[in-house]
Amino acid sequence: MDLPTAFEEFDIVEVRFKGGRKDFFRNPNRVELITGDPVVVDVPNGHHIGHVSLKGELVRLQMLKKKVDNNEEIRSIYRVANERDMEKFNEVRDLEGTTMYRAREIIQDLRLKMKLSDVEYQADKSKATFYYSADDRVDFRDLIKKLAEEFKIRIEMRQISLRHEAGRLGGIGSCGRELCCSTWLTDFKSVSTTAARYQNLSLNPSKLSGQCGRLKCCLNYELETYMVALKDIPTVSRPLQTKQGDAILQKTDIFKKMMWFGFRGDNNWYPVPASRVQEIQELNAKGTVVEFLLQEAPPEPKQNEFVTQVEGNLERLDDKFKSGKKKKKKKKKTNPDGAVTAKPAPASAAEPRAAGEQPQHRKQKPFHQKNRNKTEGGNAPKQAAQPVQNAQPAQTASGDASQQPRKQKPRRPFNKGKKPDQPKPGTNA
């Protein structure tokens, strides 16, 4: 077997210029090129600088797609641009902004109905191309004369559509990505509102139009898929006749092949398969009125669980507020023995005191009230402080201590149940 011969690469290269404009150039000197390299190419009346966007066999396919013939009209590539070429090219590009603003002032003075969108200088600064858009034909012969006198350069006027204008300016679409016309889309096909109708989109101009003011190009991307899916869905031009009433089409789910119908005076929608709709249409055409939309009676709509839960909570709240608050009963004070102590009647100051009767002492507060006074920062009673270490039995003038009123022992709120340490009689603490 013979060894394979060396593969010869396709000698035509695709070169991209400012604004996404692309053209094909021949590489006769077989210069080694890489995608993205700046190259100096031959143009009418001079030379220009562009960047390699495609090379190899893909260029052959691209030429077949755009119907470009491989003949002698294709111009050639001189060389790869060096630093000096790029410096001159950048200086020329810096003049484009000021030139465009000055040209707009001249257009405004001449009162021409046109919109100047961009200016492109040739790399050798021998020609400037002015891109504009207009609704009607514009007579710009006087404009060209004034522009040539102002900038001392050869002028070329090129009219572009609004879609090309948006592609040259660039931007971000409603999808969050860069505009298709400024990245990869080169052929602009006509877009109509029928594409939106087939896809069940709302005919809202603000949502269907792009930055160019025309209908979005992406409406045509999925149109073929919708057209194929719509073949199995019947066309409903009149309501379906049932014993429940006339069913009116409300919505169609194309890919699930489900159609939603509703009755007059009923807010509920009922899903019906496309095959069942076609069957009902055939029966109605013969004069038969079906009993139900589906083969069986539709189930009753179930109430949402969340709604039932909320309604139950509201009913419980109503019952609670209707019953009212219950009054708390006062508990009677009990002794440690379990006997209930009655509240003594208040003694009047006018009644004489009996012989040997001791004066009534002020009733002390219960323990829980004492503890609350301490926690709330109030003044606690002096008896409830710390236990007295040198406690001596108090004696009256008669010497009988049993007749004295019983002195309550100090209580500790936090050490309940523990008795305080009492010193032995006759000793000092």
pLDDT at 200: 85
User: Nearest Cα to 77, choosing from 26, 1, 113, 115?
Assistant: 26
Q: Are residues 218 and 255 in the same domain?
A: no
Distance (Å, whole) CA 225 – CA 231: 11
Q: Does residue 130 form part of some domain? A: yes
- Mean of pLDDT values over 194-218: 90
Tokens standing for residue 165: 């204008």
- Report which of residues 414 and 305 the model is more confident about: 305
Whether the predicted pLDDT of 399 surpasses 50: no
For residue 222, is it within any domain? Answer: yes
Lowest mean pLDDT among 237-251, 308-322, 344-358: 344-358
Q: State residue 384's pLDDT score.
A: 44
- For residues 184-199, one letter each, b for 16 or more C-beta atoms within 10 angstroms of the residue's C-beta and e for the rest, the string is eeeebeebeeebbebe
Within-domain flag for 367:
no
Query: Based on the structure, what is the number of domains in the chain?
Result: 4
- From 285, 307, 326, the end of a domain falls on 285
- The answer to which of 81-85, 225-229, 240-244, 368-372 has the lowest mean pLDDT is 368-372
How many Cα atoms within 13 Å fall on the side-chain side of residue 120? Answer: 17
Angle separating helix axes 83-110 and 141-151, nearest 10 degrees: 130
Phi first, then psi: give them for residue 205, nearest 5 degrees. Answer: -60, -35
Q: According to the model, what pLDDT value does residue 120 have?
A: 93
Domain boundary residue among 229, 246, 262? Answer: 229
- pLDDT more than 70, % of the chain: 68
106 Cβ partners below 8 Å, 6+ apart? 143, 146, 147, 150
pLDDT value of position 8: 74
CATH number at residue 121: 3.30.300
- Residue written as tokens 């009677």? 332
Determine the structural domain holding residue 253 and report its residue range. 233-285
Average pLDDT over residues 100-129: 92
* Domain contains 368: no
> Would the pTM of this model clear 0.75, i.e. be above it?
no
Residues 222, 240: one domain?
Answer: no
Neighbours of 181 (CB within 10 A): 24
Q: What is the mean pLDDT of residues 110-137?
A: 91
Average pLDDT, the chain: 79
In this prediction, residue 350 carries a pLDDT of: 47
pLDDT score recorded for residue 188: 86
- 40 and 18 housed in the same domain: yes
Give the other-Cβ count within 10 Å of 28's Cβ. Answer: 10
Residue 351 confidence (pLDDT) above 60: no
Residue 3 or 138, more confident: 138
Give yes or no for residue 388 having a pLDDT over 50: no
Query: Can you tell me the distance from the alpha carbon of 385 to that of 408, in angstroms, rounded to the nearest whole number?
Result: 12
pLDDT at 407: 60
Residue for token digits 């066309």?
235
Of residues 387 and 171, more confidence is placed in 171
Distance separating alpha carbons of residues 312 and 19, to the nearest angstrom: 66
Give the end of a domain, one of 30, 55, 81. Answer: 81
Residue 313 lies in a domain: no
| pLDDT tier at 41, thresholds 50, 70, 90 | very high
CB contact set of 27 (below 8 Å; sequence gap of 6+): 11, 12, 13, 33, 76, 77
Task: Please state, in angstroms and rounded to a whole number, the distance separating the CA atoms of residues 369 and 184.
Answer: 86
The mean pLDDT value for 85-110 works out to 93
Identify which of 177, 176, 282 has the alpha carbon closest to the alpha carbon of residue 234. Answer: 282
pLDDT reported for residue 108: 93
- Assess whether 92 and 75 both reside in one domain: no
